[in-house]
Amino acid sequence: MSSKKYTVSVLGAGKRGKMHAKLFNQSDRIQLTGLCDIDAGRLDAAAAEYGNPAFSKGDIPSSQRVCPLTLYTDVNKMLTETRPDVFCFCTPPAIRKSLFQLGIDHKVKLIAYEKPMSTNFNEAKEMIEMARTAGIKTVVSHQQKYGDHYQAVKRIADSGKLGRIQSIYGHTWGWYLHMVTHVMDYLRFYNNNAEALWVAGQIDGRGKLEDNHPSPEYAGGFIHFENGVRGIVEIGAISPDVPESEYPWHKGRFCIQGTKGFAEVIIGAGWRACTEDGYQEGPGCFNYETDGARYIQDIALWLDGTQIHPCNGEDTFKGFQMAMGLLRSAIERKIIRFPLEQGENEVEAMKRIIP
């Protein structure tokens, strides 16, 4: 196994930025060299939280710095000074394309960023084309699938013991732009990244349209995959409860139904299956630290050239297309076939049509 070391600079010192910075800091393959946020208070709080007194400010001359990690409030300055292999940004969903361009301009090898890919399909398509043109690797944090319980269900689904897979049902309580890209990504994961051919969807509720993850309050839909599997999704307020999980963000479930049985994973409460071998169950819970550490390890392996990252940008884009296709289906009141073309911004359209 390669022991080559890479460097990363992280933008965003909020919840996710701090988690990424912490995990990169613990990684033996990717060295954290810069951390940036426009909010200096958050930056200082993040530094204090790590308990690393050697963190230094970006305005201190580099010759006097005592630690390779520097704090910045200007992302351009951070990328210019640190020249990282990886640019990781963990900002709200409206801030994506300009940061993508910044990473490309600074010739980083890989951009790692947070879900959702964007708030609209047009921007996502532009971003994936920018990455293709620049020949840059991109990954998006759909890291839940690294969980032991997700992996146990994957092994069962791939073993053939469920018979022919007929449907994969995914539902979560969290609202659309927070959760839908996780849901679509894990549907594709369990369906071995089969191509989706069409989607039919319905949406309801204006209450989250002004959120920084602008969403319908509820969305439900059907996705048809070329291998005959039917995806069924529900996201938001009136999606089914999952009483096994107490924490609202863990009230989500993915169930794979085959001709000989089923296997399901609950975001916060393990997995269970009934196959030709009988009933089985096991533990597991979404965990930012352990799932995130595996996601980061795979970034190093992709940079080595050993394997393609399971959260790579091309697969993410396909999941995002399914998510935006579902919204378009509801907006245009018809089945939407893939590939999706550029069209009206989905958030603006939802504001126009949801009563």
Ligand X SMILES: NC(=O)c1ccc[n+]([C@@H]2O[C@H](COP(=O)([O-])OP(=O)(O)OC[C@H]3O[C@@H](n4cnc5c(N)ncnc54)[C@H](O)[C@@H]3O)[C@@H](O)[C@H]2O)c1
Residue 178 binding ligand X, by CB under 6 A: yes
Near ligand X by CB under 6 A: residue from 31, 65, 81, 95: 95
Residue 181 binding ligand X, by CB under 6 A: no
Give least dist CB 329 to ligand X, A: 23
What is the torsional sign of CA 140, 142, 147, 153? Answer: negative
Tokens of 109: 């090898």
Residues 308-347 that bind ligand X (CB under 6 A): none
Q: How far apart are CA 206 and CA 209, in angstroms?
A: 5
Give least dist CB 286 to ligand X, A: 8
Residue 293 binding ligand X, by CB under 6 A: no
Residue 34 binding ligand X, by CB under 6 A: no
Residue type, 198: W
Give least dist CB 65 to ligand X, A: 21
Residue 114 binding ligand X, by CB under 6 A: yes
E strand map for 226-338: 230-236, 252-258, 261-266, 271-275, 278-282, 336-337
What is the torsional sign of CA 38, 39, 44, 49? Answer: negative
61 φ/ψ sector (left φ>0, alpha ψ -120 to 50, else beta):
beta
Q: How many residues are listed for the chain in this entry?
A: 355
Give least dist CB 74 to ligand X, A: 9
Place of tokens 């708030």: 119
Give least dist CB 95 to ligand X, A: 5
Q: What is the DSSP letter of 56?
A: E
Q: Whose Cβ is closer to ligand X: residue 95's or residue 308's?
A: 95
Residues 60-79 that bind ligand X (CB under 6 A): 75
Residue 205 binding ligand X, by CB under 6 A: no
Q: How far apart are CA 320 and CA 333, in angstroms?
A: 19
Give the Å distances, CA to CA, from 120 to 243, 310, 317, 331, 347. Answer: 32, 23, 11, 13, 7
Q: C-alpha dihedral over 13, 19, 23, 25, to 10 degrees? A: 30
Give least dist CB 27 to ligand X, A: 17
- Binding segment for ligand X among 35-43, 214-222, 253-261, 339-347 (CB under 6 A)? 35-43
Give least dist CB 42 to ligand X, A: 4
- Binding segment for ligand X among 34-42, 58-66, 101-109, 158-166 (CB under 6 A)? 34-42
- Decide if 189 contacts 158 (C-beta within 8 A): no
Near ligand X by CB under 6 A: residue from 8, 10, 29, 37: 37
Residues 116-145 that bind ligand X (CB under 6 A): 141, 143
Give least dist CB 249 to ligand X, A: 8
Q: Which single residue brings its beta carbon nearest to ligand X? A: 14
Q: How far apart are CA 140 and CA 236, in angstroms?
A: 22
Near ligand X by CB under 6 A: residue from 6, 8, 9, 17: 17
Tokens of 271: 């997995």
Render 289-307 in DSSP notation, one character per residue: HHHHHHHHHHHHHHHHTSS
* Other CB atoms within 10 A of residue 344 CB: 15
Near ligand X by CB under 6 A: residue from 22, 29, 106, 115: 115
Near ligand X by CB under 6 A: residue from 11, 86, 293, 323: 11
Give least dist CB 140 to ligand X, A: 8
Q: What is the DSSP letter of 215?
A: -
Place of tokens 């296997």: 263
Residue 84 binding ligand X, by CB under 6 A: no
Residues 247-286 that bind ligand X (CB under 6 A): none
Residue 91 binding ligand X, by CB under 6 A: yes
Give contact residues for ligand X (rule: CB under 6 A).
11-17, 37-39, 42, 75, 90-93, 95, 114-115, 141, 143, 178, 213
